[in-house]
Structure 1
Amino acid sequence: MIIDSHCHLDFSVFDDQRDQLMIDCCNSGVSGFLVPATQYSTWSNLESLVKRYPQWRVAYGLHPYFLKDASLDQIERLGHQCETERVVAVGEIGLDLWPGSVDMAIQMAFFSRQLLVAKALDLPVILHARKSYDLIFKCLREAGFKRGGIVHAFNGSFEQAKRFLDMGFVLGIGGTITYPRAKKAHRVLSSLENSAFVLETDSPDMPLHGSQGQVNTPLSVLSVAQHAAMIRDESVEQITAQTCANLLRIFPMWYEDLH
């Protein structure tokens, strides 16, 4: 099967098309979806939705870009939330240095505490790391976090990729590689071992080249796989099989639930 390892199918933009989209994905061979939460206010809705869609697996966390209205006491509820149905990780969590982001001291406080929750529950994490790889490494070391997970939308150097891989992570590869100008991303992807990455879309965001301004969906993971195959000079079947195996290795609880 083909798995989209990062898609926000709980977002309201999908409310009028979610059922049909799941049918279309199934008919196209996309049959697994990892849906990470972003804000505390959305946890209950995601918990309800996952009961409707057996293809979904979920993660709960507090996204760094949406911490303006968050409070640290929400982290105290995170552990309990991660005991609900089909949870495979804590996420989406991390650090975001994009202009306009929440103060970094606040982000660091939330990130470090969520890492400790994941560590206590022995769960991997889904990392949001925008222009913040060095700080992310620092926090992972200080937390003694060794469970690994996915580095969502990885766009760093090969040396940074290697550091994450050595810490037990795999790299999320998405629409960025469909852009001809993304030469660094192409070079890094072509240099990775087969075990190092998974496919993602970040739906409804991160549209593919030629689809700017449109709502992205998990159907585009097929195009991501095709571009990855071209960049790595491999078959699409090799790419989809290996990335699926990589995801199930990182999230063994997903595998147990499927079988």
Structure 2
Amino acid sequence: MNLIDSHCHLDFPDFDADRNEVLARARAAGVQGFVLAAISREYWPRLWQVVEQHDDCYGTLGLHPYFLTDHQPEDLDALREQLQQRRQHPRLCAVGEIGLDWQLTDLDREQQQFYFEEQLKLAQEFELPVILHVRKAHAEVIATLKRIPVARGGIIHAFNGSHEQALEYRKLGFLLGIGGAYSWPIARKLRALLPRLPLEQLVLETDSPDMAPAFAANQRNSPEHLPQLCRLLADELLDMPAKQLARQTSANLQRLFGWN
């Protein structure tokens, strides 16, 4: 189907026992590329070990807001060093996963904003797109992107905002990551929104091992599920051939990252 999983965490220990088998099954099902999103300095070596071992895996570098208490200001210096070291690597594709998470009320918002802004500046410096984690903070993220614009745009991972916010992100050069959330019947708002969004703004993702779709409830999520997610989205909500959706979303991602 010529699919690309635009957001997964294949470096997580959840896949240590069968990572190669998972990748083989996903490839056989039509997934031809995997973007591994970083979360913390501690995990960067694991992530890049997986990227170096598999030619169809691509990596990012960044500090995830969810893991705020694990980050230290010196991690930003380490991030700059890593970006400098890998800036010519053909499979470094973005700064991420970064952003703001207002849903978790025990995470300091000022600290989140500090790390977010400093990483946007690094994306500017190294001329890279960004992969953004945004929960209950779309207005703040959009305002920040307008103050610290990223020339190459990026992806709003697991987008679940409004139509107006989607339009604002499009103006800023951002694609919208769509994963398993829409497959749950309770996601009425998202299911109503998706047919209104331009295909040129969508990319598909799994967020494996997290955010399992409804058809894999209570299971470890996996890139193997991406083809079924694509088919369901195409058939149930977009009324188009799944192969067309796969081609378009993969082309969107390739354009963003400058892949041939």
TM-score tier, shorter chain, comes to over 0.9
Partner-residue secondary structure (3-state), 1:6: strand
Q: Map 1:107-122 onto structure 2 (within 5 A).
A: 107-122=112-127
Deviations 1:105-159 (A, max 9, x none): 0000000000000011110000000111011012111213332100000001111
2:244 is matched with: 238
**Distance in 2 between residues matched to 1:81 and 1:179, nearest whole Å:** 38
- For residue 201 of structure 1, the aligned residue among 190, 206, 214 is 206
Aligned amino acid, residue 137 of structure 1: I
Which residue pairs with 1:60 in the alignment? 61
Equivalent residue number for residue 13 of structure 1: 14
Please state how far the C-alpha of 1:61 moved relative to its aligned partner. Answer: 0.2
**Shift of the alpha carbon at 1:79?**
2.5
Aligned length: 254
Tell me if the contact between 1:65 and 1:101 (Cα under 8 Å) persists in the aligned partners: no
Verify: 1:214 aligned to 2:219, yes or no: yes
Q: Do structure 1's residue 182 and structure 2's residue 187 form an aligned pair?
A: yes
Matched residues, percent identical? 40
Would the aligned equivalents of 1:177 and 1:227 in 2 still touch at CA under 8 Å?
Answer: no
**CA–CA separation in structure 2 for the residues paired with 1:201 and 1:110:** 25
Which of residues 96, 103, 107 in structure 2 aligns to 1:102?
107
SS of the residue 1:127 aligns to = strand
| 2:161 aligned partner | 156
- Report 1 or 2 for greater relative contact order, CA contacts < 8 Å, sequence distance ≥ 6: 2
- Structure 2 length as normaliser, TM-score? 0.95
Alpha-carbon shift at residue 100 of structure 1 (Å): 4.5
CA spacing shift, 1:96–1:223, aligned 2, 3 Å: same
Whole-Å separation in 1 of the counterparts to 2:172 and 2:234: 26
Cα deviation, residue 182, structure 1: 1.5
Secondary structure of 1:5's aligned partner: strand
After superposing on structure 2, the runs of 4+ consecutive aligned residues of structure 1 that deviate more than 3 Å are none
Give the SS at the match of 1:147. Answer: coil
Distance (whole Å) between structure 2 residues aligned to residue 155 and residue 101 of structure 1: 22
Equivalent residue for 1:250?
256
- Structure 1 Cα separation of the partners of residues 195 and 57 of structure 2: 29
Q: Distance in 1 between matches of 2:149 and 2:182?
A: 32
Q: CA RMSD in A?
A: 1.2
| Uncovered stretches (5+) of structure 2, i.e. residues with no partner | none
- Indicate yes or no: 2:171 matched with 1:141: no
Shift of 1:101: 4.4
| 2-structure distance, mates of 1:144, 1:54 | 31
Q: Unaligned 5+ residue runs, structure 1? A: none
Letter in 2 for 1:192: L
